[in-house]
């Protein structure tokens, strides 16, 4: 659990109530058939942008031909029920430490062939020594952290030199259709609007935050996953199951419900009906369904080691970029 006094009180420095988030995730882990709400995590976990495989890691980092691609000790930050562990093998990771703020999620974690140790701890306060892990992974967990720069620094600290961090988190354009529809409906019916979707980090800031934390050879990529629903109410019900929204629809199953201190407790029926009409009018598909877009940030960063390849010194190039134009002329002559 977080240290006494940690993340207490509202404000710009602590937008999320971490104690409430822990209760939400604990409750969600005890629900029947929680896997029904895991399709988004499955898509992210198995997607081309986020895989703990030899090809994805090798293409991103300073690997040499003699380097082994097996990680003796790995850490899964915000592991939940073990979404990542199911796609790891003994050939990739020899031992895995799973960390989550919710003890019920760890108790109901999916088993894997990899030897695992489960630790109840807050992602903001990792209880590990410096230079401990060869690999740190995190999937769709860090968007609930109050101090993201500090979280990145702690991940960097617990990594061994030449260790790698691979992560995925929700991006700033997530659910833009729903946000716009709700805001327009509230402006019309209530004369003002409140945020109904959790705030997310902008991709322009992500690389800077990772660099400040000490990571190098960075790879940051974005992807969008679009899911179609019959209408707004189905979107709301499913997203409430993912704990992404505010509101009073108690159909939680994924542990992603909003835990912001300034969350609005309910949405009026008239506002919801207006939002549904706006959603359909502005974003509806030709078959009558409506889309919900999830933006995913994928990131890979390495902890510095002297054996890693280093960029050449500025001004050491022997060929000018202006000479590249001559190559096309030479190739054209060769073809003729």
Average pLDDT over residues 226-251: 66
Least confident of 166-180, 259-273, 284-298: 259-273
Q: pLDDT: is 102 or 322 the higher one?
A: 102
Residue 162 CA, chain-centre distance (Å), reads 23
At residue 33, the pLDDT reads 64
Contact 290, 55 (CB under 8 A): no
Least confident of 13-22, 61-70, 237-246: 61-70
Alpha carbons 255 and 261: distance in angstroms, whole number: 17
pLDDT tens per residue across span 10-49: 444 666 677 877 777 777 777 666 666 667 777 776 654 4
Contact 254, 39 (CB under 8 A): no
Residues whose CB falls within 8 Å of the CB of residue 336, separated by 6 or more in sequence, listed in order: none
Q: pLDDT: is 263 or 106 the higher one?
A: 106
pLDDT tens per residue across span 84-142: 888 788 888 999 999 998 888 888 888 888 899 999 998 888 999 999 999 999 988 88
Kindly tell me the burial class for residue 262, based on how many C-beta atoms sit within 10 Å of its own C-beta (0-12, 13-18, 19 or more). exposed
**% helix / strand / coil in the chain, to the nearest 5?**
35, 20, 45
Domains and CATH numbers, the chain: 18-307 (3.40.50.150)
| pLDDT band per the 50, 70, 90 thresholds, residue 4 | very low
Place of tokens 């060769």: 334
At residue 60, the pLDDT reads 53
Q: Which among 131, 196, 130 has a CA at the least distance from the CA of 161?
A: 131
At residue 261, the pLDDT reads 44
Alpha carbons 262 and 15: distance in angstroms, whole number: 8
At residue 123, the pLDDT reads 83
Alpha carbons 61 and 83: distance in angstroms, whole number: 24
Q: Which among 303, 318, 312, 335 has a CA at the least distance from the CA of 71?
A: 303
- Give the highest mean pLDDT range of 28-42, 72-86, 191-205: 72-86
| pLDDT band per the 50, 70, 90 thresholds, residue 6 | very low
| pLDDT band per the 50, 70, 90 thresholds, residue 199 | low
Alpha carbons 203 and 205: distance in angstroms, whole number: 5
Q: Which among 198, 223, 206 has a CA at the least distance from the CA of 294?
A: 223
- Give the highest mean pLDDT range of 108-122, 242-256, 301-315: 108-122
Alpha carbons 238 and 259: distance in angstroms, whole number: 17
pLDDT tens per residue across span 134-152: 999 998 888 888 888 899 9
Average pLDDT over residues 51-58: 49
pTM across the whole model: 0.75
């Amino acid at each position: 659990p977080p240290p006494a006094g940690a993340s207490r009180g509202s404000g710009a420095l602590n937008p999320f109530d971490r104690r409430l988030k822990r209760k939400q995730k604990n409750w969600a882990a005890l629900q029947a058939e929680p896997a029904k709400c895991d399709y988004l995590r499955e898509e992210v976990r198995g997607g081309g942008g986020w895989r703990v495989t030899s090809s994805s890691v090798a293409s991103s980092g300073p690997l040499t031909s003699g380097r082994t691609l097996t990680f003796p000790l790995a850490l899964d930050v915000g592991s939940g029920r073990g979404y990542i562990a199911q796609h790891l093998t003994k050939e990739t990771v020899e031992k895995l430490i799973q960390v989550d703020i919710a003890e019920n999620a760890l108790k109901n974690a999916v088993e894997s062939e990899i030897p695992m140790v489960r630790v109840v701890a807050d992602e903001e306060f990792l209880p590990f020594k410096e230079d401990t892990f060869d690999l740190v992974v995190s999937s769709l967990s860090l968007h609930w952290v109050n101090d993201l720069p500090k979280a990145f620094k702690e991940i960097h600290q617990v990594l061994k030199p030449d260790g790698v961090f691979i992560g995925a988190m929700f991006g700033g354009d997530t659910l833009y259709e729903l946000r716009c529809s709700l805001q327009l409906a509230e402006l019309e019916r209530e004369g003002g609007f409140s945020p109904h979707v959790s705030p997310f980090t902008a991709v322009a800031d992500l690389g800077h935050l990772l660099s400040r934390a000490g990571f190098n050879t960075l790879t940051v990529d974005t992807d969008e996953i679009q899911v179609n629903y019959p209408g707004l109410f189905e979107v709301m019900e499913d997203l409430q199951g993912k704990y992404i929204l505010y509101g009073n629809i108690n159909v939680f199953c994924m542990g992603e419900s909003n835990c912001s201190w300034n969350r609005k407790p309910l949405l009026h029926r008239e506002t919801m009906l207006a939002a549904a009409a706006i959603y359909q009018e502005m974003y509806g598909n030709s078959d009558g369904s409506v889309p919900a877009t999830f933006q995913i940030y994928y990131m890979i960063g390495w902890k510095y080691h002297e054996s890693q390849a280093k960029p050449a010194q500025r001004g050491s190039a022997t060929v000018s970029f202006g000479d590249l134009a001559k190559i096309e002329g030479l190739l054209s002559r060769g073809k003729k």
